[in-house]
Structure 1
Amino acid sequence: MNKQIQNLYERAQKEQRLIIGLMSGTSMDGLDIALCDVTGSGTQTQIQILAFKTWAYNDDFRTKIKAVFSKRDVDLQLVCLMNEYIANVHAELINLALKEWGYKNDQIDFIASHGQTIFHSPKSLHKLTDYPNGTMQIGDGDHIAVKTGIITLSDFRQKHLAGGGEGAPLAVYGDYLIFSKESEDRVMLNIGGIANFTYLPGSLKANEIFSTDVGPGNTLMDQYVQKHYNIFYDKNSEIASSGILNEKLLSTLLNCGFFDDDFPKTTGPELFNLEYLQSAQKASATESIEKEHVMATLCHFSAETISNAIKKCFGANAAATVFMSGGGMHNPLLASLLKVKLPNSVFMSTADLGINPDAKEAVLFAVLANETLCGSPINFGQRQGVPSICMGKISLPE
């Protein structure tokens, strides 16, 4: 047997595994690195975060990603080069984190890398009848494995596509294993660039669970302040809080077929971008309103789409237990609007369940890798968009 295959087999057989989960989202703020202690698999999975940090991307690196991000027309050579470039940067950051935390690389069993999404194109968005769902994440797993010396699982979303899904969201798999609780219906709400949630029924029946994107989280607000204020995001919603909701603009922003589609569904900045906003402003004759009023309206837009999606599941008087994660939960205006729009629901964070909300997405990929190596596909029934599969390509370091 090849010694690398033997190494993979032996590490997968361990009772206790150290797995690094990586997440770099559409907000492109940095690389989340979560070092997880994992035992068991399936519904017996136990996970503890041993260390976590977000390595903030510098402006140069972020600019390089943006040059190939969410564009139909792009320099193919640059996409090719960025696939390796991002992987090398991520590998370097992993090595630095392990040194900072006092771990040697050979102590780590596996890396689970989400990669960097540069384009997401489900059929509901591209509407090309001859073509399937598509998505692309770059940051090659082989480069990470070789540069760190650690077996790496990557490119998780392609298997989801192959199994009949849209490549997103994948949170349903990890949320079910980590956060389900008998006799308590839960909503695991993650507000990143795009907002998504997983519904976890108290019945614990996997065939009743689903995860879905619901619309923009931070993406439109971030894009707007980056263009008009030359800042990365609206810290503490200072700009949005100084503005006033424009009802005409909000109504036009909400006039989109995506919001009428059934769950589960996916979307991305390919739809919700500044062109979308500009079209809505033109249609609502709000092109001249003050920038802070635009920001206030965009924040209301995110809150409205999230709350409407939860009401779609639980009814107009939704009384859900909502556990929040992602950067959007730190937006005080957005958080307060959600509580106003869902007055009968209880809002908490995944910290109340023992998982740092900023680390949650990275942890979920560690769980996905653990299932591929040590578990088996969870039976989610025959529902469209939730294939019962294990995900992730395996890259060996030698």
Structure 2
Amino acid sequence: MLHKLLTVTSKPERIGIGIMSGTSVDGVDVAIVSVRGSGEELTYRQLAFDTVDIPQALRQQIFKQFNPEESSVDKLCSLNVEIGQLFSTAARTVVEKAGLRIEDIDFIGSHGQTIYHIPVDQHDTGLVKSTMQIGEASVLAEVFQCPVVSDFRVRDMAAGGEGAPLVPYVDHLLFRSDTENIALQNIGGIGNVTYLPKGGTTSDVIAFDTGPGNMIMDEAMNILTQGKSLFDKNGELAAEGTVHHGILKEWMDHPYFTLPVPKSTGRELFGAAFTRKLVDRMLEMGLSKADILATVTMFTAITIADQTKQFLPGEIDTLVVSGGGAYNATLLRFLMELGGFAVKTQEDLGFSSESKEAVAFAILANETLFGVPNNLPTATGAARQVVLGKLTV
């Protein structure tokens, strides 16, 4: 396998797979890319992309591990391998659908499934800054017989960072502009923004988590439909409702929104327990389902507009939205009403909103194989640039 690693890095063009399962746990994203070069000289082509469903029983088990009161070490141990097997099956499926062979794959970058993320030391509980992503990379390495880079976040945390966000390094490589200030807003379970000032270098990039993305909207839909619908397709129900601005002002008092950047967050702050309180409160106030969805959708839009206004040093010329939120027409409309800037999607630029993060982890893995530092201290708070990930060969 070490011989294969040397062979892979000597190739002028490499075929890699990026695998991503986000905080929403709504599917395994698999992107297949062809990559040339590394660092500022890197170019890539997307060869294939698909999202493979996560079986509902497995999804329920994963959600139990998010809750310290339900998590168990034996199930966590087992899930690490089960998710590795799921990733392997998903990757093999996409490879075959693309008309490729397992032997064609030169490397894999797997983000894993985040189980818990503690971005800063918690002195009141004694918990130290740490993060856990599972999905055993050895399973992927055995199935594909190629180098696998995984567990990207912990090296940044060891260097003093929060381990997130990591995609801004790739954003800089692919989207930097000499003529525009670009903000790239990913709206997955959590929202995160990357700011690329025109003509800037990696040291000028600013990135951080803006707060909830789809997470609260999805959980609210789950609660209101008693599990029959897991998300508000295209924001259709929210479009029928009326936003309750009074309660939004209360929600914006959450301490996360005044924390300085760089910062990151997750399900630990804005997950099911948080959403249940919001929904129960609105039901007590007599809000309809549509009004509740409209209000939580506006909450995501307002947090994005507020956080970019507070913490970005310059005006935004264009906000480019990716992730599942890019397909929520009501959310995009709210953003356009609030922002005062052009709102585009990845598709408007010839890219894919769905595949962006999976592509990013393939590119991050490529950089790791070449020993190129691939975190951005301005985004994560790390003391220095480091090479991310653990290599399984």
Bin of the TM-score, shorter chain as denominator length: over 0.9
Partner SS for 1:167: coil
Equivalent pair of 1:171/1:211 in contact (CA under 8 Å): no
Change (3 A) 1:274 1:29: closer
> How far apart, in 2, do the equivalents of 1:175 and 1:187 lie?
10
Deviation per CA, 1:100-141: give whole Å up to 9, x if none. 2111111110010011111111127x4548543211111011
Q: Does 1:160 align with 2:170?
A: no
Inter-partner Cα distance in structure 2 for 1:237 and 1:42: 38
Aligned to 2:271: 273
Moved more, 241-250 or 273-282: 273-282
The number of aligned residues is 390
Counterpart in the other structure of 1:201: 197
**In structure 1, C-alpha distance between the alignment counterparts of 2:280 and 2:251, rounded to whole Å:** 11
Work out the CA distance in 2 between the residues paired with 1:264 and 1:329: 24
Secondary structure class of the residue paired with 2:15: strand
Structure 2 unmatched runs, 5+: none
Q: How does 1:65-80 map to 2 (within 5 A)?
A: 65-71=62-68, 73-80=70-77
Alignment counterpart, residue 234 of structure 2, candidates 233, 236, 246 = 236
Residue from 88, 113, 116 that aligns with 1:116:
113
Q: Write out per-residue CA displacement over residues 38-58 of structure 1, whole angstroms, 9 at most, x where no aligned residue.
A: 001111110110111111223
- The Cα offsets for residues 19-70 of structure 1, whole Å up to 9 and x where unpaired, read as 1001110111111110001001111110110111111223223222222125
Are positions 1:259 and 2:257 aligned together? yes
Q: In structure 2, what is the equivalent of residue 359 of structure 1? A: 355
Q: Deviations 1:67-124 (Å, cap 9, x if unpaired)?
A: 2125454111111100000101110111122122111111110010011111111127
Match of 1:377? 373
Confirm or deny: 8 A CA contact 1:318 1:342 kept in the other structure: no
Change (3 A) 1:293 1:149: same
Corresponding residue number in structure 1 for 2:188: 192
Contact 2:364 2:374 (8 Å CA) reproduced: no
Contact 1:45–1:177 (CA<8 Å) still a contact in 2? yes
**CA distance in 2: counterparts of 1:187 and 1:236, whole angstroms:** 23
Which residue does 2:178 correspond to in 1?
A: 182
- Kindly tell me: are residues 280 and 101 of structure 1, through their superposed partners in 2, closer, same or farther at Cα, counting changes over 3 Å? closer
**Whole-Å separation in 1 of the counterparts to 2:355 and 2:132:** 23
TM-score, normalization: structure 1? 0.92
Aligned residues: CA RMSD: 2.2
Change (3 A) 1:117 1:287: farther
Q: 2:170 & 2:187 partners in 1: Cα distance?
A: 16
Q: Give the match for residue 338 of structure 1.
A: 335
What residue is the counterpart of 2:87 in the other structure?
90
Whole-angstrom CA distance in 2 between matches of 1:93 and 1:384: 30
Cα 1:88–1:383 shift into 2, 3 Å: closer
Structure 1 stretch displaced more, 273-282 or 233-242: 273-282
Q: 1:55 aligns with which of 46, 52, 55?
A: 52
d(CA) in 2 for partners of 1:102, 1:154: 25
SS in 1 for 2:60: helix
Structure 1 equivalent of residue 23 of structure 2: 26
For 1:328 and 1:375, how far apart are their aligned partners in 2? 33
Runs of at least 5 residues in structure 1 that lack an aligned partner in the other structure? none
CA distance in 1, matches of 2:23, 2:375: 29
Q: 1:371 to 1:31 in 2, by over 3 A?
A: same
SS of the residue corresponding to residue 67 of structure 1 reads helix
- Retained in 2: the 8 A contact 1:189–1:322? yes
1:148 and 2:160 matched: no
Change (3 A) 1:70 1:194: farther
CA distance in 2: counterparts of 1:236 and 1:326, whole angstroms:
13
Q: Tell me how far apart the structure 2 counterparts of residues 381 and 157 of structure 1 sit (CA, whole Å).
A: 13
Once residues 254 and 161 of structure 2 are traced to their aligned partners in structure 1, the CA distance between those partners, rounded to angstroms, is 22
State how far apart, in whole Å, the 2-side matches of 1:245 and 1:26 are. Answer: 26
Partner of 2:310: 312
Deviation at 1:280, TM superposition (A): 4.9
Q: Distance in 2 between matches of 1:89 and 1:378?
A: 27
Give the direction of change, closer, same or farther, for the CA distance of 1:72–1:320 in structure 2 (3 Å limit).
farther
* Matching residue of 2:100: 103
> 1:70 touches 1:269 (CA, 8 Å); kept in 2?
no
Post-superposition shift, 1:176?
1.2
Contact 1:84 1:139 (C-alpha < 8 Å) held by counterparts: yes
| 1:95–1:380 Cα change, 3 Å | closer
- Measured in 2, the distance between the counterparts of 1:12 and 1:35 equals 17
Shift of 1:240: 1.5
Cα offset for 1:248?
2.5
Please tell me the residue identity of whatever aligns with 1:247. Answer: H
- What amino acid is the match of 1:27? S
When residues 251 and 102 of structure 1 are mapped into structure 2, their CA distance, relative to the original with a 3 A threshold, is same
Which moved further from structure 2: 319-328 or 282-291?
Answer: 282-291
- 8 Å Cα contact 1:88/1:147 also seen in 2: no
Is 2:220–2:276's contact at 8 Å kept on the other side of the alignment?
Answer: no
Secondary structure, counterpart of 2:366 in structure 1: helix
- One-letter amino acid of the counterpart of residue 319, structure 2: V
The change in CA–CA distance for 1:287 and 1:85 in structure 2 (over 3 A counts) is: farther
- Partner amino acid for 1:191? I
Quick one: which amino acid aligns to residue 234 of structure 1? D
Instruction: Assess, with a 3 A threshold, how the Cα gap between structure 1 residues 148 and 379 changes in structure 2: closer, same or farther.
Output: closer
Instruction: Work out whether 1:347 is the aligned partner of 2:343.
Output: yes
User: Which of 124, 136, 139 does residue 132 from structure 2 map onto?
Assistant: 136
Deviation larger for 157-166 or 76-85? 157-166
Whole-angstrom CA distance in 1 between matches of 2:276 and 2:91: 39
Q: Percent identity, please.
A: 34
